[in-house]
Amino acid sequence: MKRFLLTIVVLLLVGTGVYLYLNRSDSSDGTAPAMAGAPPAADVIARGEYLAKAADCAACHTVPGSDQVFAGGVPFRLPFGTIYSSNITADAATGIGGWSDDDFVRALHDGIGKHGEHLYPAFPYNSYTLLSRSDVLAIKAYLFSLPKVSEPNRPNELSFPYNQRWAIGFWNAAFFKSQRFQPDATQSAQWNSGKYLATALGHCAECHTPRNFAFALDHRQEFAGEVLQGWRAYNITADPAHGIGSWSDSDIASYLSTGHADGHGSAAGPMAEAVENSLRFLQPVDTSALVAYLRSVPARAGLDPIAVDTKPAPALASSDYAPAGDAQANAQGLKLFEGACASCHQWNGKGQQTPYASLLGARGVNDVRGNNVTQILLHGSGQRSEGASVFMPDFGNAYSNTEIAALSNYVIGHFGNKQGMVTPDDVAERRKQL
């Protein structure tokens, strides 16, 4: 009995030790590689603004369309409940006005809030931990230079056990490592700044890297694509068939900075927001650096790989104004397309009025599960860039699940030359997301 108790105590001690060890903070300050667009540390607010944009803080902390900048309240519907982002304005009562530099650094580097509570990893401290301390403080300085908004945080709606914040410590122990960005001396300066942009700031992985059973990033599949909140973040590895290996540098740069690349379609949903709020503000040199880094990501096919048909027969047989070849196929989808879609997208998928409406080569229409096609039909998509706004209306309110499914399958058949697999029940499921 004594032995048994002793064993328990030892195990507990060891466990606690391991827990603490795995949860240890890396207290180093780190250094950021040079970024063309980020002014030197002396102009701290300007630098902070550039970094905050590159880190896309607004995407999560500003309700789209709201003038309450950084006041939080954006819902994140996860498989186990809804998390709301918090107010990060300098308002003392409801925001982070009372946070010290160290409080703020600890949040970004270690995922710990002012009162020592664990932050949910929906907040990408997994990525921000790589930021240098001075960059973190530049972001803070920028946030504190903005108007304070009094907006109490919304309580999260999580079920047990996910509402137990302490449990995140175990999650962190297993999946999180506090560490600063380490430049790779064997790579160019450009590559290093690209990596800093992609990993520490841009946190591309948070969406584009598959997650494991515990909702942690599966780094073996880095950037190979994942479905999040109903949207599919595509494979952005160098895989030529399933990733972006066959895209030219300028294609990638154009997609990142404008949300569109000819022959590859347009960004929609969360990616359109990332372009609108973040990526389009990068200086071209920084965008190139990001491209250079992405190019080096090892090719992986990922799960449910999508192969883009760059010459889809039905679309190519069609003209600007009339379908050909598959005119009889999926008549319901075709009818819907000719009514609500063709005048912008055109039967040959080239896009009319704006190149953003071009569907040829887009991965969405090549995904037989039609995740993003369904999402964009249901919820629409908007993007404002370079002053012009491009948008796709939402059709979810007035069109049935069967219609959305039929239309998705038609679009996949016509522009992806594949048999779409979207069922009305799938659409019903996807309606609940987002």
Partner 1 sequence: MLSLSVNGQSYPVDVPDDMPLLWVLRDVIGLTGTKFGCGMAQCGACTVHLDGQAVRSCVLPVEAIGNRAITTIEAVGNTPSGQKIQQAWLEVDVVQCGYCQSGQIMAAAALLARTPQPTDQDIDAAMAGNLCRCATYVRIRAAIKQAATGKAEILQTIGSTPEGAVS
Partner 2 sequence: MSTGTFSPKPEQAVDLQRRQILKSSGLAIAFLWLGGTGAASAMISARRQPGDTAAAMADGNPPFAPNAFIRVDSEGPVRLVMPSVEMGQGIYTGCCMLLAEELGVGLDQIKLEHSPPSDELYGIPALGGQITGGSTSTRSTWSVLREAGAVARSMLVSAAAVQWHVDPSTCTVDRGVVHHAPSGRSASFNQLAATAGRLPMPDKVQLTDPKDFKLIGKPIRRVDAADKVKGATQFGIDVRVPGMKVATVMACPTFNGKLASIDDKATRRVPGVVDVLRLDNAVAVVGEHFWAAKKGMEALVIDWNRGENANLTTRQLQDAIADSARNGKGIVARDDGARPQGTLVQSEYQSPMLAHATMEPMNCTVHVTHDRCEIWTGTQVPMRAAQEAAKITGLPAEKVVLHNQYLGGGFGRRLETDWVEQAVALAKQVPYPLKVVWTREEDIRQDHMRPMYHDVISAVVDANGRPAWFGYRTSGGSVLARFAPGAMGKDGLDDDAVECVVELPYDIPKARVEWIRHDMPPGIIVGWWRGVGPTHNLFVVESFLDELAHRANKDPLEFRRSLLQKNARALGVLNLAAEKIGWGAHPLPPRVGRGIALGEPFGSHVCVVVETEVTAQGEVRLRKVVAAIDVGIAVNTSSIEAQVQGGVLFGLSAALYSELTIKHGAVEQGNFNDYRVLRINEAPVVEVHRVVNAEPPGGLGEVGTAIAAPALANAIFAATGVRLYQLPVDRKLLVQNPEALKSVASASAREGSEVA
Residues that bind partner 1 (CB under 8 A): 319-323, 327, 335, 338-340, 342-344, 347, 352-354, 387-389, 391, 393
For residue 221, give Cα distances in angstroms to 209, 235, 301.
6, 10, 9
Query: Are the C-beta atoms of 86 and 304 separated by less than 8 Å?
Result: no
Q: Rule CB under 8 A: is residue 422 a binding residue for partner 2?
A: yes
- Burial class for 321, CB neighbours closer than 10 Å (0-12, 13-18, 19+): exposed
d(CA 253, CA 292): 10
Helix (H, G, I), strand (E, B) or coil at 188: coil
d(CA 126, CA 31): 17
Q: What is 221-254 written as a DSSP string? A: GTTS-EEETTEEEPP-SS-TTTSSTTS-HHHHHH
- Piece of the chain touching partner 2 by CB under 8 A; list 56-64, 102-110, 353-361, 396-404: 396-404
- Piece of the chain touching partner 2 by CB under 8 A; list 158-166, 177-185, 357-365, 394-402: 394-402
Among 45, 421, 431, 433, binds partner 2 (CB under 8 A): 421
Query: Are the C-beta atoms of 69 and 146 separated by less than 8 Å?
Result: yes
Nearer to partner 1, 150 or 343 (CB): 343
Residue 112 binds which entry of partner 2, partner 1, none, CB below 5-8 Å type-dependent? none
What tokens does 193 get?
Answer: 């700044």
260 known member of a binding site = no
For residue 236, give Cα distances in angstroms to 252, 308, 361, 416, 426.
10, 13, 15, 19, 25
Please give the order of strands across the beta sheet that includes 75-78: 75-78, 81-84, 157-158
Q: Rule CB under 8 A: is residue 394 a binding residue for partner 2?
A: yes
Residue 122 binds which entry of partner 1, partner 2, none, CB below 5-8 Å type-dependent? none
For tokens 């606690």, what's the residue? 16
Among 116, 70, 66, smallest CA distance to 94 is for: 70
Interface characters, 301-340, with partner 2 (x: CB under 8 A): ---------------------------xxxxxx-x--xxx
What tokens does 267 get?
Answer: 């960004």
For tokens 């996807």, what's the residue? 430
115 known member of a binding site = no
Residue 391 binds which entry of partner 2, partner 1, none, CB below 5-8 Å type-dependent? partner 1
Beta carbon of residue 381, minimum distance to partner 1 (angstroms, whole number) = 13
Residue 342 binds which entry of partner 2, partner 1, none, CB below 5-8 Å type-dependent? partner 1
Beta carbon of residue 404, minimum distance to partner 2 (angstroms, whole number) = 8
341 known member of a binding site = yes
Among 181, 305, 197, 304, smallest CA distance to 253 is for: 197
Q: Rule CB under 8 A: is residue 375 a binding residue for partner 2?
A: no
Helix (H, G, I), strand (E, B) or coil at 337: helix
Supply the DSSP symbol for 202: S
118 known member of a binding site = no
Residue 322 binds which entry of partner 2, partner 1, none, CB below 5-8 Å type-dependent? partner 1
233-272 binders of partner 2 (CB under 8 A) = none
- Burial class for 185, CB neighbours closer than 10 Å (0-12, 13-18, 19+): exposed
Beta carbon of residue 341, minimum distance to partner 1 (angstroms, whole number) = 8
Q: Rule CB under 8 A: is residue 188 a binding residue for partner 2?
A: no
Beta carbon of residue 388, minimum distance to partner 1 (angstroms, whole number) = 4
What tokens does 212 get?
Answer: 């494991």
Nearer to partner 1, 312 or 323 (CB): 323
Among 196, 179, 203, 201, smallest CA distance to 32 is for: 196
- Give the count of residues interacting with partner 2 (CB under 8 A): 35
109 known member of a binding site = no
What tokens does 161 get?
Answer: 């056990």
Q: Rule CB under 8 A: is residue 397 a binding residue for partner 2?
A: yes
Residue 398 binds which entry of partner 2, partner 1, none, CB below 5-8 Å type-dependent? partner 2
Residue 344 binds which entry of partner 2, partner 1, none, CB below 5-8 Å type-dependent? partner 1
- Binding residue positions for heme c: 57, 60-61, 204, 207-208, 341, 344-345
Which residues would be at the binding site for partner 2 (CB under 8 A)? Answer: 67, 328-333, 335, 338-340, 380, 393-403, 405-406, 409-410, 419-425, 428
